[in-house]
Each structure stands twice: as structure tokens, then as C-alpha cells.
Amino acid sequence: MSRNENSLTLPSLATLKTAGNTWALAAICLVLPLAIGFASAKLSPANSLQGAILAGVLFPAFLLALLKPRLLLAYTLLIWAIAPELRRISDWSEGVYHSVSMLSLAPLLTGATLAIPVLREIHKIKKPSARIILLFGTALIYGALIGLAKNGMSSVYDLANYLVPLMLIPYFAVMRFTAKDIDRLLYDYANIAVLVSIYGIVQYLVVPPWDAFWMNHAEMISIGFPVPLEIRVFSTLNSPGPAAAFLVFALVPMILEKRWQGTLRWVGVMLVVVCLLTTLVRAAWLVLLVMLLVYIASSPSKGKWKTLLQLIFVAAALFWIVPKLPGAEGLVARMETLGSVQEDHSYNERLDLWQRMVPMVISDPVGRGIGSVGQGTKIGNGGELGEYGNMDNGFIALLLTFGALGGLFFFWALGAVLKQIVTRVTSRDSLQPYARLSLAAWMGAVATLMSDNGFPGLKGYLIWMLIGLGLSGKEIIESRKKGAPHAAIERKITSG
């Protein structure tokens, strides 16, 4: 009788949970459109259009967070990629340039939906992940308190740019991605990067009117001119830097493993390489080199030769293709400066920045708080970048933001992450390729600090995604040892 009662009770609980989820979903689908309609009626026509687009972007994210949280990451990547282009098209269609737009919040709000599966499964977080979260959390709380006191509302926006990418740490800790899930995510990322690259190449050759409209009003002289072959490509992103970051973090997995290349395989790889060239962001190539070398160095001997042959193939194809591209002279000249950085204007400016800012950082150990550096300085400054809006050194940006105490916790957390990754790389199991990719991403993130602070915003999202994939593999191994239900399934996937 006891066994019969248990067999009846468990399905009943599952049925109640399913019914509860169905009613919750139905309530969201009913209430959310009404709330959007009411809010839109209160907004100006321009804000109403932006609000409608924003709602259209967020609604699928909520559904995925509730029903298919493992698919949410690919969707958030897509929104990070296209949201700036949606903003430009919206401004162009109105004939009005908005220096601060509601659509700028689309990637952050979409990424914030990661909190839904995290809060639902927060009890699954293991002690090492909780320790990392605590260290980063301490740094962010300190920086936010200083920032609110010194920078006002700009600190809120900047804090969101740190928090949303870091949300990926607890997300991967509770979601337990399988090898098949990780491969699918990297495959989808490659496909999105190829689409971004195709549009970027079209932008280089044609310059669509909405992109030209934005360039004429944004007054960013560093991105060239809105005419064919004289533009530094930013594709669907908001400037060449983020575009290059999005492409380079996709390109590394695409070069390394065939199953991560996307639908177009090597054709897709070459499209991404060509588009990356047209961004003229040299720091991206240095990050690419660091990540590839780290992955190769941590690979078994057989894997090293395979990867080296693939790199030789890409280099040979690049050597053959680049001279045949329209405007190839400018592309080649830009890349040649990598061999003579002492004579490069950007290099000398960064060196001068280091010499000027180090004494300032030392004299201000408390820090200036979150919101004092980067894009967040536009808030409350009439849409214009503040004094430290452009900071071409990530180490200085972090120390200027968090000061000595907050910086200590931030770099301590980075060290704790590295310790976990190294443990995974040395374990030599079937999920090691993801751990090596995670190590490459960590080293690439540190390398990019020589040019800018890549941890907030899009670049931070990409960094923590690739790092999280490797740490997620660790959780799979631990679950196997404990005989978790999904362990047998994972063994079948990895052995196949």
C-alpha cells in the first residue's frame, strides 16, 4: 500500500507542477501584451516604436527562460549581435538620431532573463562556484556604492553591464550543459557570426543608408567615412571594437574544431576572417593569436598537429584572398603596423595614457566607482562620453573603477576562476576540449586588458560564456561521480 501511495503521489506532484507552469505561462501571455499596450499609449511616438521593438525582443527571452533555458544563450547572443542595428534602423526610419536609446537596453534586459533559471535552481550551486560569485559580488558591491555616491545613475547602467555577463557563472553552475548542448551552442554562435560577417562585408562595399545616417550623427571620426571601402566595418554591432570581439571569440572555436564551425564550415570561417579584417581592430588579432596558442599548447600531441595544420590552411587562404579584396591596400597597410608598433599612433597614445594614469590611480586608492569609466558615462552627461569614457587600458580602467580594495577582490576572483579551469584541463577526460577553450578564453580576456576593459558588456558576455562552458563540463564530471540521472545519457553522448 505504501509503494502504491508513493507511485500515485509522485505523478500527482509532477502534474500539479506542470499545471502550475501552464497557468503561469498563460498569465504572462495575457498580462504582458496588455501592460505593453498600456505603456505604449503613454509614450511619445518615437519611444513607443522603441518600446514595441524592445517588447518584441524580450518576450521570446521570457518564454525560453521558462520553457527551454538551454536555448536562451543562443537567443541572447543573437540579440547582442543585432540590437545596435535595430536601433540604427529605428532612428533612420524616424529621421532622428537618439544619442541614448531604449533599444540600448535590449541586450542587457534579454541577458537578465538568465536570472529566471538561476533563481529556480540556485540550490544546485556548488561551493567553488559560490566562492567565485562571492568574490565578484564583493567587488561589484564596493564599486556600486562608490559609484552611486560619485556618479549617480550612470553607475546603475554600468553595474548592469557587469552583472549580466557575470550571471553566466551561476547559470552554467545550475544548468549542467551536456557535451551535445555545448557543441550546439558553439555551432549556433558560429552561424550568427557568419551572418554578422556577411552583413559586415556588404556594409564595407555598399554602406546601407541607416548605417551612414548613424555615422554622420554619432561623430565617431575613428570609424572612417560612410562611403564604400572607406569605412571601418562595425556590421550589426555598435562600433568596430565590439564587432571584432564578437567575431574573434567565434572564430577561435571555428578554427579549432570542425563540429564548432557552423553550417558553412570553412567557407564560414573565411567570411568571418575577411569581415574581421575590415574592422581594422588589430588588438583582436592579438587576442586571436593568444587564444589559439593557449589551446594548442594545452592540447595532446596528436591534437597539436591537427590544429597547426588547420591554422596553416587558414593563413594560406588569407594570404591568397586578402590581396584580391576591394580596398586591400588599406587593409594590408593597417595589419603591417603590427610589426612596427613603436611607430604607430595608437600604440604611442596608449603608452602616454599609461604614464599619465598610473600616478592618478595610485593617488586615489578608493577608486571612482562603477559608472566612472566607459559607455556608462553618457548617462546624465547629455549623451556625451565623460572624462574617462574612452579608456584604452583595461587594467587602469578596473583599478580606476574599483580602487585598491575592490580591484583586489576582482582579480582574486579571476584567479579563482583560473584555478578551476586548470583543474579541468589537467583532468584529461572526454570533456577536456571545452576546458581548453575555457582556458584560452581566460587568457584572451587578460590579454585584451592591454587595450580595454573587456569584462562589462558584450565582450564580457562572450568571455564568461566560453569560460562557463568549460566549467559546466566540470559539473558534468562531478554529477557522474555521484551517479546523477543524466550521467548515463552524457556518457552515451561523449562516447558517440
Which set of grid coordinates corresponds to residue 278?
575590415
In order of 139, 208, 403, 467, the CA distances from 409 in angstroms are: 5, 45, 10, 19
Q: Establish how many alpha carbons lie within 13 A of residue 434's alpha carbon, considering only the half-sphere containing its beta carbon.
A: 29
The separation between CA 319 and the C-alpha centre of its own chain, rounded to angstroms, equals: 29
Question: Which amino acid makes up residue 297?
Answer: A
Handedness of CA 449, 199, 251, 107 (dihedral sign): positive
Which set of grid coordinates corresponds to residue 274?
575577411
Contact predicate 35/62, CB 8 Å: no
Contacts of 52 (CB under 8 A, 6+ apart): 36, 40
Single pTM value for the model: 0.82
In order of 73, 374, 434, the CA distances from 301 in angstroms are: 33, 42, 17
CA-wise closest residue to 471 among 174, 60, 165, 240: 174
CA-wise closest residue to 456 among 30, 122, 151, 111: 111
DSSP state of 207: -
Q: How many CB atoms lie within 10 A of CB 9?
A: 10
Coil/strand/helix, residue 287: helix
Contact predicate 226/92, CB 8 Å: no
How confident is the prediction along the chain (496 residues), in pLDDT tens digits per residue? 444 444 444 444 444 444 445 555 555 555 555 555 555 455 555 567 777 888 888 889 988 988 888 889 999 999 999 999 998 998 888 888 877 778 888 899 999 999 998 888 888 888 888 899 999 999 999 988 988 888 777 788 888 899 999 999 999 888 878 888 888 999 999 999 999 999 999 999 999 999 999 888 877 777 888 888 888 899 999 889 899 999 999 999 998 888 898 899 888 998 999 899 888 888 888 889 899 989 888 877 666 777 777 778 777 777 777 666 666 666 666 565 555 545 455 555 665 666 666 677 777 788 888 877 766 666 665 556 666 666 677 788 888 888 888 889 999 999 999 998 988 888 776 778 888 999 999 999 998 888 788 888 899 999 999 999 888 755 444 544 554 444 443 444 344 3
With cell 588588438, the residue in question is 283
Which set of grid coordinates corresponds to residue 443?
587568457
CA-wise closest residue to 211 among 325, 94, 91, 99: 91
Helix axes 265-279, 240-256, angle to 10 degrees: 150
In order of 100, 223, 226, 457, 462, the CA distances from 107 in angstroms are: 14, 23, 26, 9, 12
Handedness of CA 186, 192, 193, 195 (dihedral sign): positive
